[in-house]
Structure 1
């Protein structure tokens, strides 16, 4: 493809050469023309070969550069693994110590089927229905994989509690919390996402009416 594109301008140069080296004279025009044409063709052919060699050299250089870049990335990745660097972690409201402590916290089950454990009981009032609340949350599937988090967004979620602006289990769970508290909600499928949630890069899919967990 590269050779073909190089031949196009050279062809026009040949046309110019034909007019220059084909004068109307009385000598032996055929021999002169052949001589000059032969010389011109050899020169142009050598230029084409030179261009092709240069292109091949550039292409090889590019390929070698890409290969070296890929190797460098791979080596850096291996060095990071060998160094024992931890993978990027998703921020959570309940760390490993908190998880161990939760094992000894009694589970509360409501009439709707919602379950929760208080990680920390707040010292403020409980929010009345319709009041605006500001809360951090980490939403997970039962396996513990996070599918949404206000901590990653670095912005608390503000909504009117008990007004249907969030899933039913979240509304119910927050209405009985005290300001300043921290709680884990085990939301059954009937109080979660009726239509489910599509997967996102690095995030699991939430099936319709499947149970979810919220740390609030």
Structure 2
């Protein structure tokens, strides 16, 4: 491969990874669609649509086709650490795709069909925020 082709390829790969955020905990996320309004924070009740899958695309859980979003209290130990962290800073209508290492998705009995050492992909859409 010629040097200019290698440089071009590296530029493309670098620009694709620029929109992926890695947090201190090891959670990675990217904003698929921007939202509007206030940012969700600890103590807010939020209503979300979510699809959780393995990296290969096998869906483990989804409520995207339901008419009712799931209610989560941010910081209230009602969701996995990955979901709780991923919700912080989201705006209404925002869609985020999280890549969550196994230690951020562990939860007693949930989901029952998930291998305990699996990295999961979680796609979330914030439907609304209820300030407490």
- TM-score, normalised via structure 1 length: 0.46
Q: What is the alpha-carbon distance in structure 2 between the residues aligned to residue 191 and residue 214 of structure 1? A: 12
Deviation of 1:194 after TM superposition, in Å, equals 4.6
Highest RCO, 1 vs 2 (Cα 8 Å, sep ≥ 6): 2
Deviation of 1:120 after TM superposition, in Å, equals 1.0
Q: What is the alpha-carbon distance in structure 2 between the residues aligned to residue 104 and residue 193 of structure 1? A: 29
Paired residue total: 108
The 3-state SS of whatever aligns with 1:137 is: strand
Equivalent in 86, 107, 115 of residue 20 of structure 2 = 107
After superposing on structure 2, the runs of 4+ consecutive aligned residues of structure 1 that deviate more than 6 Å are none
Q: What is the alpha-carbon distance in structure 1 between the residues aligned to residue 93 and residue 64 of structure 2? A: 16
Of the structure 1 ranges 168-177 and 104-113, higher mean CA displacement relative to structure 2 is found in 104-113
Deviation of 1:156 after TM superposition, in Å, equals 0.5
Q: What's the counterpart of residue 85 of structure 1?
A: none
The 3-state SS of whatever aligns with 1:176 is: coil
Question: In proportion to residue count, which structure has more helix?
Answer: 1
Deviation of 1:180 after TM superposition, in Å, equals 1.9
The C-alpha deviation readout for 1:25-51, integer Å capped at 9, x for no partner, is xxxxxxxxxxxxxxxxxxxxxxxxxxx
Instruction: Give the alignment of 1:22-41 within 5 angstroms.
Output: none
| 1:189 is the counterpart of 2:97 | no
Q: What's the counterpart of residue 118 of structure 2?
A: 210
| 1:163 is the counterpart of 2:107 | no
Find the structure with the greater CA-based Rg: 1
| 1:135 is the counterpart of 2:43 | no
The 3-state SS of whatever aligns with 1:186 is: strand
Unmatched 5+ stretches in structure 1: 1-102, 199-204
Equivalent in 75, 91, 103 of residue 178 of structure 1 = 91
Q: What is the alpha-carbon distance in structure 1 between the residues aligned to residue 51 and residue 107 of structure 2? A: 19
The 3-state SS of whatever aligns with 1:152 is: coil
Question: In proportion to residue count, which structure has more strand?
Answer: 2
Q: What is the alpha-carbon distance in structure 2 between the residues aligned to residue 152 and residue 127 of structure 1? A: 23
Q: What's the counterpart of residue 120 of structure 1?
A: 33
Deviation of 1:131 after TM superposition, in Å, equals 1.1
Unmatched 5+ stretches in structure 2: 1-14, 125-132
Q: What's the counterpart of residue 151 of structure 1?
A: 64
